[in-house]
Chain A
């Protein structure tokens, strides 16, 4: 049984357990850390870096993704400090350059006051967040999809690019940030940050910025 501990996120004390996921703990406590690739039902990968936070350890601060950060007793996390916000805006700019047409990314940019993208548009319509790959492996238990290639050539795909390896279960499609659109479906307000973006049927009252789905 993991030990109950206290961590501090944006100076607010949160009760959680040793080794718990900091992003999840913060969201449960009502502190909205913007995130994108995180799916509560699968192992976090820290692919998108949107949930970036500052962690203070031994008087030094370090930036890391909250979704892959394990909680430790007395941990001090800053999710909305100026350096974090600056880094997060930059990350969202980079993501937008990859997929400018994504409504979810546009909503995320709006929320973070990102108005300009300084990077050249690449229009790849994929931000390599890996939600589809994780859904395929851990939700559908198929393990058909994967990330292929390296560096700039990295892309998602089926073995040999053949459709026959896919069972067409659509678990990947349903979680792709480029397929999803914020607001409208539920029309509820987010129970965490109060925005009108809630669209998650499985976890009601949490907006796509918190638990994008």
Chain B
């Protein structure tokens, strides 16, 4: 695992203990999860026992201790969303991606999570995909959104392959 990004983050945040949350947030963003190596290194640099860093990373739902997929899909399961059909949305997403809540698809593309409320009950049911909120969702709309993401991913992959081929030809 490449820890250079981690060192950059630690260098930028200084060595004060209170920087720990910012460091964890940046590490989560950069690596899409917080690895054991990262936790041990943060513990050394900030002079905080390993267990304290682990506890924090474990406590907050925003942090993941296992690698998350390239796309994070959060289905709100709060009361308002539940009433408006969130369980059907979740079933649709899980069936489409063949995964379970909190788990990542085998190809590492998607992680599906549920959340208890996003504070956007007027927009219920809400699904968040990669930080973007989608309101008044239906199973059909979710299916279309996921297909769009898959399509875009494939395009990006094809472009990568073309670039590699172009380089090889040149």
The chain A residues found within 8 Å of chain B, CB to CB, are 137, 142-150, 158-160, 165
Contacts and interface: CB of A to CB of B under 8 A. Distances in A.
Contacts of B52: 143, 146
B151 to A, nearest CB: 38
Contacts, number: 33
A143 B51 contact: yes
Interface in B45-60: 49-55, 58-59
B75 interface: no
Which DSSP category, helix, strand, loop or mixed, fits chain B's interface? helix
Nearest to A156: B51
Interface string B113-146: 0000000000000000000000000000000000
B59 A144 contact: no
Nearest to B51: A146
B36 A137 contact: no
Interface residues of B, number: 11
A150 B60 CA distance: 9
Nearest to B43: A159
Contacts of A143: 49-52
A137 B53 CA distance: 14
7 contacts: A137-B49, A143-B52, A144-B49, A144-B51, A147-B55, A159-B36, A165-B51
A146 B54 contact: yes
Interface in B27-63: 36, 39, 49-55, 58-59
Nearest to A158: B51
Contacts of A137: 49
Nearest to A142: B49
Interface in B1-44: 36, 39
B130 to A, nearest CB: 26
Nearest to B39: A159
A146 B55 contact: yes
B50 A159 contact: yes
Q: Which 4 A-B pairs have the closest CB atoms?
A: A143-B49, A146-B51, A159-B54, A159-B50
Contact of B59 (A142, A150, A160): A150
Contacts of A150: 59
Q: Which of B36, B50, B51, B53 has the most CB of A within 10 A?
A: B51
Contact of A165 (B50, B55, B58, B59): B50
B59 A159 contact: no
Contacts of A158: 51
A75 to B, nearest CB: 34
Nearest to A143: B49
A145 B52 CA distance: 9
B60 to A, nearest CB: 9
A148 B55 contact: yes
A144 B59 CA distance: 17
Contacts of A146: 49, 51-52, 54-55
A34 to B, nearest CB: 30
A137 B39 CA distance: 18
Contacts of B50: 143-144, 159, 165
A23 to B, nearest CB: 27
Nearest to A133: B51
A146 B55 CA distance: 7
Given A146-B54, A146-B55, A148-B54, A160 B49 contact: no
A148 B58 contact: yes
